[in-house]
Amino acid sequence: MSTSRIHRVSVADQVASAVRKSILDGELRPGAQLTEAPLAASLGVSRNTMREAMRILILEGLLVRSVHRGVAVSRLSLRDVKEIYNIRRVLELPAVMIARHAPPEIKLHLRSALESYEATLRAKDFVGAVEFDLAFHSALIRFYRNQRLETFYQNVIGELRLGMVLVDRRHDDPIALIPIHRKIFQYLDSGKLKECAALLAQHLQDSEARLTQVMTAAASEEGNEFGRKKSRAG
């Protein structure tokens, strides 16, 4: 019974990974409806497996389920972005201020996420870069040593993945994002916690501004495209 359960979850994880890649690569656009049966058939899995994979992605914030519309790819609003970044400030900034006596393994995890972030960004693997970017910031929350808080934070920032991939792809110079994370880590590692918090606050403000700008531009492009289609149809 145990082996069967592990195998089923493993398949669901693989399906979730495939759908996640399609979302983050832009093949499935924000707001796109996902119908369980045909999607399961296209991937060669059962509906139960597809349902479990969707549940995983809903928990990550990449999919959303509603009573009337079923399951769809998440679409962030500007209000969502504002609320999420407010939560990030409330949690991340005090976290670095209590990092002085933290277990060394947390800093090792931060360094590992930072190195992986730099490597994937240089390779223009924007999906991978976002994963390691979020892993870096998630590690900051570990300074609280509160598992429930870590879980809450993961659920909150999961909604940002799609928007952050879009920001990195459209950034004029994505490599310019690397020194900021590196400096945040250097301040943290050397015990300059006030300087670290100040730089992190500026980084979060800039990140929110970039995401807001990209989302506004994308909404404008979608509106223009809809207008062109309507004009041709008329």
Which has the higher per-residue pLDDT, 29 or 209? 209
Q: Which of 24, 57, 73 is the last residue of a domain?
A: 73
**232 in a structural domain:** no
- Work out the pLDDT band at 193, boundaries 50, 70, 90: very high
**166 in a structural domain:** yes
The answer to whether residues 63 and 87 belong to one domain is no
The answer to whether residues 28 and 118 belong to one domain is no
- Per DSSP (E only), the strands in the chain are 33-34, 63-66, 70-73
Q: Which of 25, 53, 73 is the last residue of a domain?
A: 73
Considering its fold, how many domains does the chain have in total?
A: 2
The answer to whether residues 24 and 91 belong to one domain is no
The answer to whether residues 115 and 82 belong to one domain is yes
CATH number of the domain where residue 10 is located: 1.10.10.10
pTM of the predicted structure, to 2 decimals = 0.78
CATH number of the domain where residue 145 is located: 1.20.120.530
Tokens, residue 82:
């504002």
Q: Which of 33, 54, 73 is the last residue of a domain?
A: 73
The answer to whether residues 84 and 69 belong to one domain is no
**226 in a structural domain:** no
**11 in a structural domain:** yes
Cα distance between residue 64 and residue 59, in whole Å: 9
pLDDT of residue 201 exceeding 90, the answer is yes
**Alpha carbon of residue 138 to chain centroid:** 11
Evaluate whether 93 touches 201 at the Cβ level (below 8 Å). Answer: yes
List Cβ neighbours of 13 (8 Å cut-off, separation of 6 or more): 53, 56
- Work out the pLDDT band at 4, boundaries 50, 70, 90: very low
Q: What is the DSSP string of 125-190?
A: -HHHHHHHHHHHHHHHHGGG--HHHHHHHHHHHHTTHHHHHHHHHH-S-GGGGHHHHHHHHHHHHT
The answer to whether residues 175 and 211 belong to one domain is yes
Q: Which of 66-70, 87-91, 125-129, 173-177 has the highest mean pLDDT?
A: 87-91
The answer to whether residues 185 and 204 belong to one domain is yes
* Residue 52 lies in domain: 2-73
The answer to whether residues 82 and 160 belong to one domain is yes
Evaluate whether 12 touches 53 at the Cβ level (below 8 Å). Answer: yes
